[in-house]
Structure 1
Amino acid sequence: MNMLLKILLLSLVVWAKPNSYVSVHTIVQQLPTGTTTNAIQFIEQDWNLAKQRAMQENKLIFVDVYASWCPPCMLLKTKTFQNKKVGDFFNQHFVNISIDAEKSIGPQVARYFGVTAYPTLVFTDGAGKPVLYAMGYMGTKDILKFAQAALDKLSATK
């Protein structure tokens, strides 16, 4: 119930200040090069770069498909993705990409993954073939379980 109340309150804040998400997203994007944060480090909107790095580093790709107006997406970006444990795990094991489904290559990527709701979280292999996906907000424990399940699924197929 407590989480539901937080999401409801966050939704009201976003509704009252629709540009607040853009501000948070922009701040995360504008960190100086070499800045260390606890957050997941994302490639923004560059699907080809993500695939290239995943192949070079032999890692899965974690894809966050979001919309700028989406309250659960904002909650993921400001809470879950900022968690040190989540950031450390994802930065070590995955190439992470964040894609606004309504801009640039976003609509094409959203169609490719069959996105019907935001956020959609997808793990793919280096070629972009989906391994595991989920829709909706996840807290720290759930996203870490989801990530481990993707690694386990890949290991089981080898």
Structure 2
Amino acid sequence: MPSNRITWADNYTAAQQQATDSGKPMILYFTGQWCVPCRVMKRQVWADAEVETSVNAQFIPVAIDVNNPDNAELLTRYNIGGAPVTIITDPAGNALRWRAGGIGKTEFLELLQASTPSPAKD
């Protein structure tokens, strides 16, 4: 799991419960210790103050280790073949948007913004 100031859920089950309780979408971040693009994202995206603020305020994030056999069902459900993969889901876990491969801060923030409902306008 990336170590930074993101408030990561302990696991998918906990994330889904938090998402259901709060009505917030989830960020599923499929990663692995061997994953070089994941390490780059850890330093350049997840550790960024703007990303941290947006993620912590509007999403329930959970890092999912693709090498952990306990996560096999999630890998199958979301058709994950490698890492990194970032998926934004609704609170029920239905995929809304996703990106495969390493992405930079700008693309990551665009993914978050596209996945956040706009406030109603009068």
CA distance in 2, matches of 1:114, 1:53: 23
Q: Which residue of 1 aligns with 2:9?
A: 43
Whether 1:141 and 2:106 are equivalent positions in the alignment is yes
Q: TM-score, normalised by structure 2?
A: 0.88
Conserved? CA contact 1:72–1:119, under 8 Å: yes
Conserved? CA contact 1:121–1:135, under 8 Å: yes
Identity value in percent: 21
- If you compute each CA radius of gyration, which structure gives the higher value, 1 or 2? 1
Whether 1:106 and 2:71 are equivalent positions in the alignment is yes
Q: TM-score, normalised by structure 1?
A: 0.69
- Unaligned residue ranges in structure 2 (runs of 5+): none
Identify, as 1 or 2, the structure richer in helix: 1
Within a 5 Å distance, the mapping from 1:21-100 to structure 2 comes to: 25=1, 28=3, 39-44=5-10, 46-100=11-65
1:106-125, Cα deviation, whole Å (9 max, x unpaired): 22211110012310100111
CA RMSD of aligned residues (A): 1.9
- Unaligned residue ranges in structure 1 (runs of 5+): 1-24, 29-36
Between the two structures, name the one with larger relative contact order (CA 8 Å, sep ≥ 6). 2
Structure 1 position 137, deviation (Å): 1.1
Q: How many residues align?
A: 119
Conserved? CA contact 1:101–1:109, under 8 Å: no
CA distance in 2, matches of 1:120, 1:41: 19
